[in-house]
Structure 1
Amino acid sequence: MEWNVKLLLEDFSCLYGEKQSDLLSPCIYSIVDREFYARFHFKEGTKLLKEFLEDKDDQNALIMLVLHKDQDESSEFYLRRRQAKAHMVACMQSLHALSDTLAHVVYFATGQNRDKKTCLESKKVLMFSVQKALELDPTKAEIEGLLKQLTEHIDYRYLADIVNHSKHRRIIGTPFSVSMIEDADQPPYGLQLEAFEYEGRTHSSKWLEPFLEREYKRQADLIIQIGEKLNRWVKNKRTIADL
């Protein structure tokens, strides 16, 4: 399933005019860009390590690498890890930014900026304030419910905490780890986010790649659902206006 962005913009322009459409359109296409950036950085980050570790997939070779037994090889591995981490940090930042941009999409698409009760200063257009405004209109309940699914999920809260911690305090470490436990639910090796605490919330260590894959898919699916609900809401609004 895909979000028919073109249809939304056509109906929205007919309903509110070109000036309003010019506010909404860049936000929507920023969602498309952010999803592309997140995918790109994730793929590049995983590729950097996989290419280097291609012939080192047995546990002993990996442990020797972690223990720095070969200085030249360890130096290259250190560089690859830093490059991979740079991509993964960028991936997390883009994933986290998606909800902020989506808040602006919903804000403009539902006409909140046109109503004195819900109109906000640009810097105050946040997911929480947009959701509160949706509560005033029962016809927007489904959109509000999906936004809550997006932002109240445990993985989203973890993502928000790690991005904010890394932005304001220090970047969370991502050491390369080799698992000693055979478990189909976790990778045998890879980058692992260190445990950390933020705003009184304690988070345990987490394998980076499975987390990002899972959270990207979850957000992408929900954004499509939210987009389709916006399409339907704007279409209904336009139909009523044309009567």
Structure 2
Amino acid sequence: MTDMEKPHAVGGTDEIRLNLQKVYGVDRGTLIFGSLSSAYDRLLFAHHHLKLLRKAAKPAVEQGLKTCGFLESLDNEEGTEALFSQSMHQIKMHVTDCIQHLHAIGDTVAFAIYFFIDVPEEKQLIKKNITLSAVHKLFERNSALPGTTVFSTKAKELAINENYAYLVDLNNHAKHRSIVKPSVSIPFDREVSEEEHEDLLIFSTVEMSSPPPSLQNRGATPVHAQRPILPFIESELTRIWGIYGEIRQEIEKEVRLAAPKAGCAAARQA
């Protein structure tokens, strides 16, 4: 697995901020821009923690393989157990940070979308209740809302996704119950290639908060299948980053078209 490219900003930040303020007024424009900027910052934070996570994973996995006899361990090696414990602690820290940032991006982007479109007063949400799930459901119930054709599609792509459901449950478990512990899973029935080393680092078991109908009413609470940590986080970061870029580009395009008209209207009123 190679290190993914660093997320890049979409469009000029000063231009989109000024255009948003021109079209929506300073307060609302600043609110929308603040959410877009915060989501981008979280992409960078998650990307940074992913790099540190990969760095910490290497000694943890190698020590796990040595302990199980899959890699040669030198007799004079000292401090390997301490190195393993330190690496696993760092992994737990960076995994938790990655999960929290990726989960928050969905709600933060939804906040920007909500204030970018004009929601009729009778359908408006309480500000503290504006989440990705709430905005997605708002679009589902009201197909005639402005921006439905673009923003509802992107909100759905973010929210209705098996990996995102897993991400939500990981975050909620870490937030409300306990930090999701990583572990090194060694297959004993075959040799492990060096390319597979990163895939040996896996999440511990996490319960499903919204299991599919086929798994409901079976007594025990359904759980997610355990997944390799690094491939999952990189894949979800790449997916969320791509959707964020499309949402921001659409906002930038629409507000750029509307800004000249808003400027003319303001000049006439003056």
Shorter-chain TM band: 0.7 to 0.9
- Identity percentage of aligned residues: 23
CA distance in 2 between counterparts of 1:31 and 1:130 reads 16
Which SS does the other structure have where 2:179 is aligned?
Answer: coil
Alignment size in residue pairs: 236
Tell me, in whole angstroms, the C-alpha distance in 2 between the residues paired with 1:238 and 1:22. Answer: 15
Partner of 2:79: helix, strand, or coil? helix
Q: 1:187 aligned to 2:192?
A: no
Change (3 A) 1:64 1:208: same
Q: Unmatched 5+ residue regions in structure 2?
A: 1-7, 210-220, 266-270
**Residue 119 (structure 1) aligned with residue 139 (structure 2):** no
The 3 A distance-change label for structure 1 pair 139 and 85 is closer
Task: Encode CA deviations 1:117-172: one digit per residue, 9 max, x unaligned.
Answer: 34332211122332344433254311110110111111111100111122112222
Please tell me the root mean square deviation across aligned C-alpha atoms, in Å: 3.1
1:135-214 counterparts in 2 under 5 A? Answer: 135-137=143-145, 139-180=147-188, 181=190, 187-189=196-198, 190-199=200-209, 200-214=221-235
Is 1:10–2:15 an aligned residue pair?
A: no
Asked if the contact 1:147–1:226 (Cα under 8 Å) also holds between the matched residues in 2, the reply is no
Match of 1:97 in 2: 104
Runs of 4+ in 1 over 6 A off after TM superposition: 68-71
Q: Using a 3 Å threshold, how does the CA distance of structure 1 residues 77 and 15 change in structure 2: closer, same or farther?
A: same
User: What amino acid does structure 2 have at the position aligned with 1:231?
Assistant: E
Residues 150 and 219 in structure 1, CA contact (< 8 A), matched pair in contact too: yes
2:202 partner SS:
strand
Asked if 1 retains the 8 angstrom alpha-carbon contact of 2:118 and 2:146, the reply is: no
Q: Describe the SS at the equivalent of 2:42.
A: helix
Give the distance between the partners of 2:122 and 2:257, measured in 1 at CA. Answer: 22
Q: 1:165 to 1:205 in 2, by over 3 A?
A: same
More moved, 82-91 vs 15-24: 15-24
Q: 1:2 to 1:9 in 2, by over 3 A?
A: same
Matched, 1:31 2:39: yes
Q: 1:198 offset after TM fit, Å?
A: 3.0
Q: Compared with structure 1, are the counterparts of its residues 229 and 205 closer, same or farther at alpha carbon in structure 2 (3 Å cutoff)? A: same
Q: Which runs of 5+ in 1 are unaligned?
A: none
> 2:65 touches 2:186 (CA, 8 Å); kept in 1?
no
Determine the C-alpha separation between the residues in 1 that align with 2:257 and 2:133: 25
- Which is strand-richer, 1 or 2? 1
* Higher CA-based Rg: 2
Aligned AA (1:203):
H
Structure 1 residue 220, shift from structure 2 partner: 0.3
Counterpart residue number, 1:230: 251
Distance (Å, rounded) in 2 between the aligned partners of 1:123 and 1:42: 30
SS of match in other structure, 2:201: strand
Q: CA deviation at 1:182?
A: 6.4
Change (3 A) 1:195 1:127: same
Q: Structure 1 residues 139, 26: CA separation in 2 closer, same or farther (over 3 Å shift)?
A: closer
Q: What is the CA-CA distance between 1:229 and the residue it aligns to?
A: 1.8
TM-score (norm 2): 0.75
Q: Report the Cα distance in structure 1 between the residues aligned to 2:66 and 2:192, rounded to whole angstroms.
A: 19
In the other structure, the counterpart of 1:87 is 94
SS in 1 for 2:68: helix
1:76 aligns to 2:86 (yes or no): no
1:175 alignment partner, SS class: strand
Match of 2:3 in 1: none
